[in-house]
Amino acid sequence: MREVLRHWAASHPGAVRIQNQDSYICRPTLGLFSVADGAGGHSEGEVASTQVVKLLGEMSETVPPSERLAEVRVRLHAVHDLLLEKGRSQVPQVTLATTVIVLMVHGDHFAFLWAGDSRGYLLRDGTLHRLTSDHSLVQELVDSGTITTAEAETHPLSNVITRAVGAGGHELLIDKIRGIARPDDRLLLCSDGLYKTLSSEEMVEIMARDGDVAEMLVAAALAQHARDNITAVVTAF
C-alpha cells in the first residue's frame, strides 16, 4: 500500500440551495478523512459541520496509529458537547447539529465511524458496497420491514435523521465498521445530496474513472439538478 493515499474531494451547494452546510477534511498523512453534513436551517448547520472539521483538523500527527480511532471519538464527543452547550445558551434555544462520517486508514486497514446519514462506500472489482447504515427514520422503517429499500428512496420523511452530533442527549452514539482494503479498492465518503441524486450504477461508473473522481461525482449530481448540498471524498489504494 502507498504511504500516503491518493485522494480527491469536492463539495458544492447543489443546484437549488445557496448555502453549503457540508464540510469536509482530508489529512492523508494521518489517514484521516471526514464529511459532515449540517442539519437544520439558516446558518446553524454550517456552524455545526465546521466545528467537526475544526476539531479533527487540530488532531496532532504525533498521535500513534493505535490511538487515532480513540482520539477521533474523543474529539467527536467534544464537538457534541460544545454544540449542545452553544444551542442551549441561545435565546430561544436552537439545535446545532451535523451528521458525520470519518474514515481512518493505516496500511491496508480502514475503519468508518459515523452518526447520521452521511455514508461510506467501498468500490471493489466493479461493485459498490455500502458499508454504513443510516441513522434515519426511513432506515428504521426498512429494518422493521414496514417499507422497502426502493420505497425509502422517495419517502416524504427521508430527510429525518435519528442521530447526529449536537442533537439528543449528552451521550453521542457512534457506529463503527472495520475492513481490510485490497489493491485498487476505492472508498467513498459522501453526504446525502450525492447518493440521493446519483444511482449506484452511476456512482460505480464515475468512481472507476481516471482523474478527479470527486469532482466528477459532484458534477454529475449537479447535472441532475441535485436539490441538496453535495460532498464527495474518495480515497484510492
Domain contains 57: yes
Domain contains 117: yes
Residue 217: what pLDDT?
Answer: 98
Q: Which is more confidently placed, 95 or 75? A: 75
| Ranges 60-69, 154-163, 181-190, 220-229: which has the least confidence | 154-163
Residue 137: what pLDDT?
Answer: 77
Checking if the pLDDT of 27 tops 80, the result is yes
The answer to whether the CB of 209 falls within 8 A of the CB of 117 is no
Residue 139: what pLDDT?
Answer: 77
Beta-carbon contacts of residue 176 (< 8 Å; ≥ 6 apart): 69, 111, 112, 113
Tell me the residue type at 197. Answer: T
Domain contains 1: no
Q: What is the pLDDT of residues 143-197, one digit of tens each?
A: 787 877 776 777 767 677 889 999 888 889 999 999 999 999 999 999 999 999 9
Residue 88: what pLDDT?
Answer: 83
Domain contains 62: yes
Checking if the pLDDT of 40 tops 70, the result is no
Residue 160: what pLDDT?
Answer: 79
Place 66 in a pLDDT band, splitting at 50, 70 and 90: very high
Q: Cβ of 129: how many Cβ atoms within 10 Å?
A: 12
CATH number of the domain at 119, please: 3.60.40.10
Domain contains 127: yes
Residue 168: what pLDDT?
Answer: 81
Q: Quick one: cell of 198?
A: 446519483
Q: What is the pLDDT of residues 6-21, one digit of tens each?
A: 999 999 999 998 889 9
Domain contains 138: yes
* Domain count along the chain: 1
Give the structural domain span for 70. 6-236
Residue 42: what pLDDT?
Answer: 47
Residues paired with residue 130 on neighbouring β-strands, in sequence order: 121
**What does the alpha-carbon distance between residue 117 and residue 162 come to, in Å, rounded to a whole number?**
9
Dihedrals phi, psi of 32, to nearest 5 degrees: -115, 130
Checking if the pLDDT of 67 tops 70, the result is yes
Checking if the pLDDT of 85 tops 60, the result is yes
With H, G, I as helix, E, B as strand and everything else as coil, classify residue 226.
coil
pTM for the model: 0.92
